[in-house]
Structure 1
């Protein structure tokens, strides 16, 4: 059985969700195919993401189960539930490995180009391993500190962008000059799944953090999704007004490039290091959440001690991270092209929708049986 976690506040959950969504989403070059309208895509997906998070928690809450793994077993039986559980554990580990690779590539390309990728990945893995090892209560409290730090850094970043004055709002015009049609592919086959659909990871443990998932918890989470989505929209707006859609499309890490362009009086410069530090904190949270979601599944199905699984599964994730792509270009193409359509959509939307239908049917049958008995 999964150990019941200590009490947490809705605010703590909202901070973790905020960092989880920002994670690698502010790092990647999203919606490049729509050029100057790229900022509209995450804005639309923010409201879809708010519904998705409510929907994910509704499934857990309505099923009266604490985790998605116990829901699988309840809905599909021991055999079917175990198979589906293994699929989701594998999914969480794989996405965890991809996120680990994202951050390792950032450090290799922007900070330490002479350090081999494998060493960067090992150092990042060791950090994640330690965070998970200190226990749920401690790493949640640590993530709250991360949240304050990231928020402060981005406030400073926005103020410096404004103070620098090297931006052009004409880069955003005309807004939706080609209509809404070109925005739909990026909306429904990229940004909706990454990062908002990835919130399904919280179904692996949210019910143990907050028994019965009270309304204030759901509202705090939905509000956090709203703030996170607006921040992603703001970062893309800054990228566009700073150097335009054509340069943004070619940039490997556009937010870092935008921060690098800041120069106030030839004195305040190299702001990208602060931004990279903020991205690092958010990336640690995202990788930890995916790893924790996978580990909770392994604990549920095997009954093994949580801490005994951290080292072997994080080492496995590190190996997958290193071999998941041959280079960054391939990594981005697969991550923003193949993965959303063929992996994210089935596991984030199709299976949860089928589970919800099954839950509602069983609930209706149960009520009918109760009436017939009476």
Structure 2
């Protein structure tokens, strides 16, 4: 039996939430209020985390697919579960591609993208084949390093770079409406709604009563860090440059220069982004395979994982011709696919469960 401690779940969820999010200037449609967008989206995300964990509390020993089938029955539940497998495979492929592009652009410009992606997927498969518990134990080591490094980056930037807090003014200059529009549905879904993938892992928690508290704590901490990251980007780069920069975080930390000694720390930023993306993509991949193994009762888990790992590699290479196309697709994914799978369906599942429970009580 797989067992995950609450700290292991916390570290996995924290790394997952930070993940690829630092690649983008989330909520920048609200301009200087983008950092407020993150906090508003976090509050919305916490509401849906309550919904996700309410379903989990109703079926503590089951993963999300088993919960769907238990509530809707096999005829509806199995096709819906397979749709979730397809849905979760897509962000896994997109994460794989965007981090391959990141490495190719910043560190290995002469290396073919396909080679980078191949090595990336091999490392992921090696880690996952060791088992979920081993993978989770690595996050216990990595998470403090990531958290400490992010805080160190903030300190170095504010000590050595020309920071102008006037770039954050006027606060709510256009009112609250632009902030709300930027926060929902987009930022509330990415990254906070994506935490639903952990409904494939919560059943392994050795302290199931702490799942909701642990999940909310991980989301709050990651939300605060993401908000601080945006404050840093905007105060250093300004709203206009932050909105058009390919990777705002890297553009910001490239400016760090303390006595001509501490310079060029953008490599550290790339490493942090890489680690977050690695865990995020791996968790999506393993969650997708878990759906298939649950539905079809597959015995050879490792073989299925390897086959889908290479299928994921194919999807990442074939379906996105360029990084520009990748960025263009993001709003479409969030506004059409994410909202259905991460918000509408879980809400309907909980309502159906409540209705069935009430009728059974009568």
Q: Could you tell me the TM-score, scaled by structure 1's length? A: 0.93
The residue aligned with 2:23 is 27
Structure 1 residue 65 displacement after superposition: 5.2
Asked whether the 8 Å contact 1:63–1:359 carries over to 2, the reply is no
Equivalent residue number for residue 309 of structure 1: 304
Pair 114,29 (structure 1): closer, same or farther in 2 beyond 3 Å: farther
Partner of 1:371: none
Distance 1:324 1:31, change over 3 A: farther
Task: Say if 2:88 is the partner of 1:92.
Answer: yes
Is this contact kept in 1: 2:11–2:143, CA < 8 A? yes
**Residue 360 (structure 1) aligns with:** 354
2:41 is the alignment partner of 1:50: no
CA distance in 2, matches of 1:257, 1:56: 36
Of residues 2, 21, 25, the one that matches 1:5 is 2
Map 1:34-113 onto structure 2 (within 5 A): 34-64=30-60, 66-113=62-109
Match of residue 284 from structure 2: 290
| CA-to-aligned-CA distance 1:103-138 (integer Å, 9 cap, x gap) | 111111222222221111111111111111111111
Between 1:321-330 and 1:163-172, the stretch displaced more is 321-330
| Equivalent position of 1:127 in the other structure | 123
* Structure 1: runs of 5+ lacking an equivalent: 369-374
Q: Where do 5+ consecutive residues of structure 2 fail to align?
A: none
**What is the CA distance between 1:64 and its match in structure 2?**
5.0
Does the 8 Å contact 1:10/1:221 carry over to 2? no
Q: Please tell me whether residue 158 in structure 1 is matched to residue 154 in structure 2.
A: yes
The corresponding residue for 2:254 is: 260
- Deviation, 1:201, is 0.4
Corresponding position: 1:235 with 2:238: no
Alignment correspondent of 1:328? 323
Find 2:264's aligned residue among 270, 275, 285.
270
1:372 is matched with: none
Matched ranges for 1:213-224 at <5 A = 213-214=208-209, 216-224=210-218
Q: CA deviation at 1:56?
A: 0.6
Q: Which string of whole-angstrom CA distances, capped at 9 and with x for unpartnered residues, describes residues 244-298 of structure 1?
A: 0111111000001111111111221111111111111111111111111111111
Distance 2:295 2:134 in 1: 25
Q: 1:319 aligns with which of 304, 314, 320?
A: 314
TM superposition shift of 1:40: 1.0
Deviations 1:210-249 (A, max 9, x none): 47x21x2321221111000000001111100111011111
Say if 1:146 and 1:282, in contact at 8 Å, map to a contact too.
no
Q: Give the Cα–Cα distance (whole angstroms) in 2 for the partners of residues 274 and 64 of structure 1.
A: 39
1:180 Cα deviation after fit? 1.1
Whether contact under 8 Å (2:65, 2:81) holds in the other structure is yes
Pick which of 15-24 and 51-60 moved more: 51-60
For normalisation by structure 2, the TM-score amounts to 0.96
CA distance in 1, matches of 2:309, 2:205: 23
Paired residue secondary structure (1:39): helix
The aligned counterpart of 1:178 is 174
Indicate the SS of the match to 2:23: coil
Query: How far 1:46 sits from its partner (Å)?
Result: 1.5
Task: Check whether the contact 2:45–2:192 (CA below 8 A) recurs between aligned residues.
Answer: yes
SS in 2 for 1:29: coil
Give me the whole-angstrom Cα distance separating, in 2, the residues matched to 1:277 and 1:99: 15
Paired residues, number: 361
Separation (CA, whole Å) in 2 of partners of 1:31 and 1:225? 17
Q: Within 2, Cα distance between the matches of 1:344 and 1:217?
A: 23
The alpha-carbon deviation at position 53 of structure 1 amounts to 1.9
2: CA distance, partners of 1:260 / 1:327: 25
